[in-house]
Structure 1
Amino acid sequence: MKRTAALAAVTLLASLIIQPSNGYAKSMNEIDQQLNQLDQQAHKAKQEQKNATENKQEAQHYKNKTTQTLEDVLGEIESVGSQLTRVSRDIEQTEENLRTTKKELAEAEERIKAREKLLETRVRLMYTDGNVSYLDVLLSSTSFSDFLDRADSLKMIVDQDQQLLDEHKKDKEYVVQKQEELEGQYKYVKGLYAQKQEAKDMLAGKEKEKRVLIAGYDQKIEQFDSLSNEQNDLLVALATKRSSLVQEKNQLRAEQEARAKAAREKAAAAAAAKKRALAAQKQSSQSSSSSEASDTTYASSYNGGGGAFAMPVSGARISSTFGYRVHPVTGVRKLHAGVDLAVPQGTSVHAAEDGVVTVAEWWNGYGNLIIIDHGNGLWSMYGHLRDGGIMVSSGQTVKRGQKIAESGSTGVSTGPHLHFEVRLHNVPVNPMDYL
């Protein structure tokens, strides 16, 4: 919508600038009305440019914030990835332990089977041979030594049976305990792995979300930057039209003053003739004297590179040339439409050539700016002037070498310098070809 509005404003301005000439001469009042309309349009364009700049800065702020969040998310993804690697190793180790336990289980089961077979054999013998009590065995002894031998043998049999039962019980308990322990551990690490994988998937979703947001902010920044440039071009066109109307108004005023002066001179001449006629008898004649005011202009050679323009500042160092570059503040590669002349704060800035001032105020990234219209579509522009350093006003005629401002570092600037720009039919050209 804003882009359409800007284009509509440019079209409206074109209709004001390119009016058919039918011999109709504007009156002072009509010119003032048009100037008022232009001022209103310029005020609206500046407000839209200001809004676009603020919106761009806001989008840049949120982009920077989202970029930092994205970096944090990427760090978390890397951390969770490392944890997944460790959990994967734990799962592999637990699976290996389970395989070992299964092997131990199989061995224990073999021992259990062997014991059960032995016990079954003993029970079967007791069943086939009848139940012989330990007391009968002892009483069947033929001597005391035989009695002791039988008692020892019975004790060994009882101990062996008890040992078989104890080991049988322990094997069963060990296998069950170990199996439950490892299955619990395996279940835990599998669950932990699922949690880490879920966290990684969530972070990956956040990463995608942040990248989409950053792309959206980049698009907004580009749109607001484009809108700001459109408003900038509109303001230049409005200022050019205003300068033309001011010159037309000055010319009309000069013509009116010339006619008034001619009328006064005619009346004065008639009065003088009458006076001479009345005083013809007198030998002396009176003469009138007139005084003329003289204008003082500032001249300065500022010898440069052989071009038509004078150097706007003295003793400057070229810190940035005309052409595409990565902007030192925004970090964006774009056309540097002028040349930066590094000079100390408060250095005198002079008009490069005769012309009419079309802009003398704050302008977006240029900071405090002066634009001089030299005629035939040729302008010179002086940017980043210090606050309070503009010494001319819109509509004022200036001379080559006249001091018009003092350098500074306002607007989008990294330090004190003069941004000098030359445009031909509103197209930036290399200033070095003109200096």
Structure 2
Amino acid sequence: MFYDRAKIYVKGGDGGNGIVAFRREKYVPEGGPSGGDGGKGGDVVMVADEGLRTLIDFKYKQHYKAGRGEHGQGKNMHGRGAEDMVLQVPLGTVVRNAETDEIIADFIFHGQKVVVAQAGRGGRGNTRFVSSQNRVPEFAEKGEPGQERWLLLELKLLADVGLVGFPNVGKSTIISRVSAAKPKIADYPFTTLSPNLGVVRVDEGNSFVLADIPGLIEGAHTGAGLGHHFLRHLERTKILIHVLDLSELPDRTPWDDFDIINRELKAYKASLAERPQIVAANKMDLPGAEERLGELKERLGDQYEVFAISAATGAGLPLLMQRAFQLVQDAEKNVVTEPAEREIRHVHVTPQERFQIFRDEAGIFVVSGEEVERHVAMTDFENEAAVKRLQRIFKKMGLDQGLREKGAKAGDVIRIKELEFDFAD
């Protein structure tokens, strides 16, 4: 099966906990702190693999969680970091944040790597907190939680040439004739429900990738007939071959088909309608096709090259593929490879608030913010010294004062993530 969409959950590995330890050796009566740091968790990394063609692996497994770093040990021994979790995806995969729709990665070349969920760093052992004011720290940090989120994976085929047209005009027969691809072929609309890729060898050493895109219908740009799912596979093609059925159709003419499909391409993305396009007048082996071919050429004028073909017999296909290959080469030459003129960029840094405070319907003061939540997650609340350290951090951050300004009084409930405590002024 061909799967080109998937939704998965990824979580970077949590960092290992730092440890509270002290030297306890013979002849060292007052040994200092010796707690080691926790190891870093594993990242979740996606890697592009040119050997893959579908997202089917993510259909049957949706949750991916990297390993946690090892905890620190005494004698200043640090925990080992966890290995990264590597997920392989096909070329052409676009990864988005499911919540914000932000593009996280766009895989366009083999071996490309992107970290999609960062690991948490290891917590520091008590050795790290020695100072002139605190010679024997009795607290350590817990490991930082790894990043977690839901991702949307969308595959856009990487093909040089795309076959477009209404259902049942002969696109699948063409790709089966000119390549080793073996799509399903039958005499009814929407026989092809997923794109097919084939390599067309023009001559020795010259080839291009051809994509058979399932048939489009009027309204495809709005999603009709799974239009959105099909149209996105055309976004990376260099040229289009517009296949028209020149047999006698009761409802539409070939030139009507041509206008409808081009309107759909333009409505979906204007750049698609501007892409180089050649016309394949198919089914020329059927009665009446010659008369319609003449009218088609007259209506299209000199703007488009028209190739008379018969996918059923193979007539005209070699010439069509030769011309497609030439246009692919021309398109590649027109790609700007020289570096653009150097520009001076002005970067304006907008300082962000370190935390936000609001009061919910139950009267609880809710505090949010990445920095605040990280400090809470890395605090061992069973260790009194660690809790006192967190209180000092909050005071330096201005959280205490911020709560007072929002109206918090002694005894009010404060919530940070899952942690709830009473405010003491």
Identify whether the pair has TM-score above 0.5, normalized to the shorter chain: no
Larger RCO (CA under 8 A, 6+ residues apart):
1
Q: What TM-score does the superposition give when structure 1 sets the normalisation length? A: 0.17
Query: Whose helix fraction is larger, Structure 1's or Structure 2's?
Result: 1
Higher-Rg structure is: 1
Q: What TM-score does the superposition give when structure 2 sets the normalisation length? A: 0.17
Query: Whose strand fraction is larger, Structure 1's or Structure 2's?
Result: 2
